[in-house]
Amino acid sequence: MGGTSPTRGHSRYIGRMGGLAFALGVGAAVLTGTPVASAETSDSTPGPSTTSSSTGESAGGESRSTTKSPETTADDHVTAESTTGVDSEGSDEAASDDVSVAAAPDTGDTDTDSGDDAAAAPEKDTRMEPAVQPHRKARVAVADSPTAAAAEPSDSLFDNVSPTLNHDPAEDIAVGATVVGNLHPVDPDSTKLTYTATRPSHGSVRINADGTFAYTPNTTYTGQDRFTVTVSDARSGFHLHGIEGLLSLFTFGLLGNSGHRASQTVFIGYQHVVVASGLNRPVDFRFLPDGRIVVAEKGGTIKVVDNTTGTAQTLVTLPVLTQGERGINGITVDPAFASNGALYVAYTTTAAHDRLSQLTMTANAINAATEKVLLESSEAAAFYHRGGALAFGPDGKLYWGLGDNREPGNAQNLNNFHGKILRINPDGTTPSDNPVLAAGALPQIYAYGLRNPFRLTFTPSGQLLVADVGEASFEELNLVTAGGNYGWPGSEGNCKRNCAGTKNPIFAYAHGSGAAITSVFVYNGSKLGPRYQNKVFIADTVQGWIKVLTCSVDFTSCGAVQTFDSEGGSTVGLSQGPDGNLYQLVYEPGSLVRIGLPSGAPSAV
């Protein structure tokens, strides 16, 4: 749900007054240049809402570990009670369970309005008593200082500070299907705050006394949602907000003291923006130094996509076979592209051989005559198990993964390229430091014993990770090292017998029929927030999900699986863009998608 945020708003409690008082109020507004008796940071909130006011003490703080889960706090909330005395610009819908608030102990200072306004309040509100201490501590150093804590009553009375909300979506944590976060309310001189929240479109939200919240989506919904929270200090006792508040007092009297408010739209989940659509069975992509994106299609076409406009321009179309998994399988960009314009592409030739070639891009075109063949297999290419993993390592060498060509024994045969990771120089020659595996072994072989290495990536510290598509039992993620034997066809997943000299995967997941691990990369950007820093993203194009792994520092083991997107579709590539966002290549319907914080949400730091 991208695009412009919905208009935000909330009611102003004017009180009972005559036309003369209102006219005086308008005059005061002209004098001060700002609305009378109002200093909202945001001016509207549509739709049904709930209100909660709070007082009392709490030991809560900023730590997310203190957030109560919905299961443990189900008895601590009041659901969508109507609060009288609050006018609303929303609809006349009845209260619902979509917004609820936790009730904190009342210290006896709660003032509950009643009277004629009750029937006219279409926004459905719920009271809570959030603690004073958390919002004194949150993110404002002065609130922790003795000066702020011991402020004279006159300071709070005549120069009261407006409350603020400081939710950062990058801090939100998924607990099962529920997302928990913190509004980080700040008001160092108020003893009671009132929260009003609009109803989310696709779920329900519960606001806790310490400013934390729990959002639970509808059963079948996995996309983005939002709701708007407004905080007010109007119930914190009589106080003035500078000269404007004084003018408001003279104009409206005590009943006109509506306090100060601040609103923030809380975004749940990440925004998926289609950068380019209408791609024809795309299989791989890479970023150019100028931010444009090179996309390879299975049928032999290589395109360049403008990341801003989404315009796709054809660079070249190579002659390829396309039956089964034949066609273009992988593409990558030379680290020195800015000076040499070199691209590398792995594909199936019309003579049914696997080929790795270098192409030169000039301006917005590739002349097919610039093709330089670096490697070509001697075996006829089968319809399936083509592999396709292709990338440069931090050592400047080019790594290419080929499948076993539907002949499992190839993976252990050191006399052909299939079921291997190959390592070559950018000009096609063999590096002198490649491992020596056996007499007669092909010198380009870096590692072997793989079934269908579809994607590979390098960690920020230089380790090589390979996603190897399994057969009927396991999908594997391997930490590949020079000379390593990864067990296929003798083992799938962890080796069980005759394991001498083989290496187990660092992560594997079991499955029945229908699975294919088709993406792997390590995220080290900032746009997705600290919870995804140095996490390994993987995708399964058959099962349709994107998941996140937590690995050891040396990447010798991975686990703690979290679902990032349960409806990721037929992902064939994931990568981090130069802008720090996550990019996803979808095979069908062919599209390139940018995943990041929603429009209008603050950037993670």
Residues 71 and 126 in one domain: yes
Residues 198 and 294 in one domain: no
Residues 135 and 235 in one domain: yes
Residues 136 and 204 in one domain: yes
Angle between helices 19-32 and 242-252 (to 10 degrees): 160
Q: Look up the CATH number of the domain holding residue 408.
A: 2.120.10.30
Average predicted confidence (pLDDT) for the chain: 76
Q: Is residue 144 part of a domain?
A: yes
- For residue 236, what pLDDT is reported? 58
Q: Looking at residues 298-321, what average pLDDT do you find? A: 97
Q: What is the pLDDT of residues 155-187, one digit of tens each?
A: 444 456 778 898 887 778 878 778 899 999 888
Q: How confident is the model at residue 300 (pLDDT cuts 50, 70, 90)?
A: very high
Residue 534 belongs to what domain range? 271-596
Q: What is the pLDDT of residues 14-41, one digit of tens each?
A: 333 333 232 233 333 333 333 322 233 3
Please give the tally of structural domains in the chain.
2
- For residue 599, what pLDDT is reported? 64
Q: Is residue 80 part of a domain?
A: yes
Q: Is residue 12 part of a domain?
A: no
Most trustworthy range by pLDDT among 158-162, 195-199, 433-437, 594-598: 433-437
Residues 316 and 446 in one domain: yes
Distance separating alpha carbons of residues 404 and 258, to the nearest angstrom: 72
Residues 308 and 229 in one domain: no
For residue 489, say if its preceding peptide bond is cis, omega within 30 degrees of 0: yes
Residues 421 and 437 in one domain: yes
Which long-range contacts (C-beta less than 8 Å, at least 24 apart) are formed by 146-149? 148/188, 148/189
Global pTM value: 0.68
Q: 10 Å Cβ neighbour count for 6?
A: 18
DSSP string covering 74-93:
GGGEEES---TT---SS--P
Q: What is the pLDDT of residues 43-86, one digit of tens each?
A: 333 344 444 444 433 333 333 333 333 333 333 333 333 232 22
Residues 318 and 183 in one domain: no
- For residue 268, what pLDDT is reported? 85
- For residue 72, what pLDDT is reported? 33
Q: What is the pLDDT of residues 266-290, one digit of tens each?
A: 888 888 899 999 999 999 999 999 9
Q: Is residue 9 part of a domain?
A: no
CB contact burial 254-277 (16+ within 10 A = b; e otherwise): eebbbbbbbbbbbbbbbbbbebbe
- For residue 516, what pLDDT is reported? 97
Structure tokens at 5: 């945020």
The pLDDT of residue 223 is above 60: yes
Residues 314 and 197 in one domain: no
Structure tokens at 402: 């080929």
Q: Is residue 446 part of a domain?
A: yes
The pLDDT of residue 502 is above 50: yes
Residues 417 and 363 in one domain: yes
250, 268, 286 - which closes a domain: 268
Q: Is residue 601 part of a domain?
A: no
For residue 589, say if its preceding peptide bond is cis, omega within 30 degrees of 0: yes
Residues 227 and 287 in one domain: no
User: Burial of 393 by CB count in 10 Å (0-12 exposed, 13-18 middle, 19+ buried)?
Assistant: middle
Residues 199 and 338 in one domain: no
Ranking 95-104, 203-212, 259-268, 288-297 by mean pLDDT, the lowest is 95-104
The pLDDT of residue 3 is above 80: no
For the four alpha carbons of 506, 423, 388 and 316, in that order, the dihedral sign comes to positive
For the four alpha carbons of 214, 219, 223 and 227, in that order, the dihedral sign comes to negative
The pLDDT of residue 531 is above 60: yes
The pLDDT of residue 111 is above 80: no
